[in-house]
């Protein structure tokens, strides 16, 4: 069995349908179908159950999927050791803000070891892409201090994240530096908020930034869909934001201490890998 055929089989198994796999690989569906048929004839097992236009892996297909990933990894290691390296391509998923602030630090050691590597990011708040081998690493936020429960995943805790109320140094509340500001006074000032949860997973009934608006209603002056726009507006206008402490620290925002609100938002940030690695160089992240 050719290693290239197994590589194609893995990509088809990860896609929702043969047609989708053909588009992603740039191969005619008929050619893909012949490849899958050749694999099934070789192993004398059906690898997919055909349900309408979608394909699902059979038990034999699941076994081949895992073993094919292992073989591809071994093949890449052999090519590297024999002087025929492929250019490493690292795929990382995570929430928008988490990727923006933590990916550069993670990549420093990787690029030092693999200077010719390329990197691709994909926005995701969960492990779905990693579980399907659509990415090599996943950065996820948990609302407790426990690692992800999926058995296929190996997780390393990067840090604890605490959300804070922050503003630029010219905000009226900054004049109270060192003092605790009652929540009633804080709520008299306009906020800027995310229009989507780009800080990562949040509890149900909370706003995209983790604030309890149902109990402490804010005056919303601006909504944005990315951290760059949020920081730009905070620096340009007297706006408050409820955001992760790492963002406040990175941009030297003033953290406003408040009283009278019993709620806090905390996350734990985890770097996750699949136990079935697709590339030998993933050991850099152990």
DSSP 240: B
Lowest mean pLDDT, pick from 37-41, 219-223, 274-278:
274-278
CA 83 to chain centre: 33
From the number of C-beta atoms within 10 Å of its C-beta (0-12, 13-18, 19+), residue 238 rates as middle
> Is pLDDT of 210 > 70?
yes
Q: pLDDT tens digit string along 126-139?
A: 999 999 888 999 99
% of residues, the chain, pLDDT over 90? 55
Mean pLDDT to the nearest integer, 183-207 = 92
Query: Which pair of tokens denotes residue 195?
Result: 């229009």
The torsion angle over the Cα atoms of residues 108, 110, 116 and 118, rounded to 10 degrees, is -90
Q: Which pTM does this prediction carry?
A: 0.70
**Residue listed under structure tokens 């420093």:** 108
Query: Per the structure block, which two tokens stand in for 246?
Result: 């790492």
- Per DSSP, 159 falls in state E
Q: What is the pLDDT of residue 171?
A: 94
Q: How confident is the model over 14-41, as a mean pLDDT?
A: 82
Q: pLDDT of 71-91, one tens digit each?
A: 888 888 887 777 666 678 899
pLDDT for 139: 97
Question: In the beta sheet, which residues pair with residue 228?
Answer: none
Q: Which two tokens stand for residue 147?
A: 């690692």
Neighbouring CB atoms inside 10 A of 222's CB total 16
What mean pLDDT do residues 190-204 have?
92
* φ and ψ of 216, to 5 deg: -130, 85
| Across 253-261, average pLDDT | 93
Residue 233 has pLDDT above 70, yes or no: yes
Decide: 11 and 134 in contact? Cβ < 8 Å.
Answer: no
Instruction: Mark residue 40 as left, alpha or beta (left: phi above 0; alpha: psi -120 to 50; beta: remaining).
Output: alpha
* pLDDT for 151 beyond 70: yes
């Amino acid at each position: 069995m050719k290693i290239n055929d197994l590589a194609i089989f893995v990509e088809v198994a990860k896609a929702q349908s043969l047609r989708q796999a053909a588009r992603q690989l740039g191969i005619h569906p008929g050619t893909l179908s012949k490849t899958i048929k050749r694999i099934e004839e070789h192993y004398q097992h059906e690898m997919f159950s055909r349900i309408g236009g979608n394909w699902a892996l059979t038990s034999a297909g699941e076994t081949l999927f895992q073993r094919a990933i292992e073989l591809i990894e071994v093949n890449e290691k052999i090519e590297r050791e024999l002087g025929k390296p492929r250019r490493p391509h690292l795929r990382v998923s995570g929430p928008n803000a988490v990727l923006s602030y933590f990916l550069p630090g993670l990549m420093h050691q990787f690029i030092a070891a693999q200077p010719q590597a390329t990197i691709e990011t994909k926005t995701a708040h969960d492990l779905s892409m990693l579980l399907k081998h659509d990415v090599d690493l996943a950065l996820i936020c948990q609302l407790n201090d426990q690692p992800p429960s999926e058995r296929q995943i190996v997780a390393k805790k990067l840090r604890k994240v605490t959300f804070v109320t922050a503003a630029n140094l010219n905000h009226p509340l900054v004049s109270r530096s060192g003092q605790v500001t009652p929540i009633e006074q804080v709520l008299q000032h306009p906020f800027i908020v995310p229009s989507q949860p780009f800080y990562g997973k949040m509890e149900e009934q909370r706003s995209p930034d983790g604030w309890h608006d149902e109990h402490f209603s804010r005056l919303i002056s601006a909504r944005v869909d990315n951290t760059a726009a949020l920081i730009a507006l905070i620096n340009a206008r007297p706006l408050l934001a409820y955001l992760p402490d790492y963002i406040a620290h990175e941009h030297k925002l003033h953290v406003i201490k408040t009283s009278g609100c019993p709620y806090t938002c905390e996350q734990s940030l985890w770097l996750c890998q699949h136990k079935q690695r697709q590339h030998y160089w993933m050991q850099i992240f152990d």
